[in-house]
């Protein structure tokens, strides 16, 4: 951790509401607060760390139950899996 950098960022509820409003109509899914905060950090990282010629990608645990429709109370199982996306 000697070379690590840490930054504490506070997200006021009003800022999250603005981010959620900006995503309305851009996707058929209903983004969560977690979705927009993750996208915010990804865009920030892309701007700060991406150099010409680099391939930027993001990996994260993703809960596929919302997409698969398996969020009913009687569902027993785990639909969390690693997901990776490469950005241009």
Quickly list DSSP for 17-83. HHHHHHHTTS-SS---HHHHHHHHHHHHHHHHH--TT--EEEEEEEETHHHHT--STT--S--EEEE
Predicted pLDDT at 58: 73
Close Cβ partners of 45 (under 8 Å, ≥ 6 residues apart):
56, 58
Per-residue pLDDT of the chain (88 residues; tens, 9 = 90+): 566 677 788 889 998 999 888 888 787 778 888 888 888 887 887 777 777 777 777 777 777 766 766 556 666 666 677 777 776 6
- Is the full-model pTM beyond 0.85? no
Instruction: Give strand pairing partners of 85.
Output: 58
């Amino acid at each position: 951790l000697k070379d690590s950098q840490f930054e504490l960022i506070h997200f006021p509820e009003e800022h999250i509401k603005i981010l959620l409003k900006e995503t309305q109509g851009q996707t058929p899914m209903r983004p969560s607060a977690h979705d927009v905060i993750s996208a915010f950090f990804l865009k920030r990282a892309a701007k700060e760390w991406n150099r010409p010629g680099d391939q930027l990608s993001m990996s994260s645990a993703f809960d596929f139950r919302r997409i698969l429709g398996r969020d009913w109370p009687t569902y027993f199982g785990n639909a969390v899996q690693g997901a990776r996306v490469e950005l241009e």
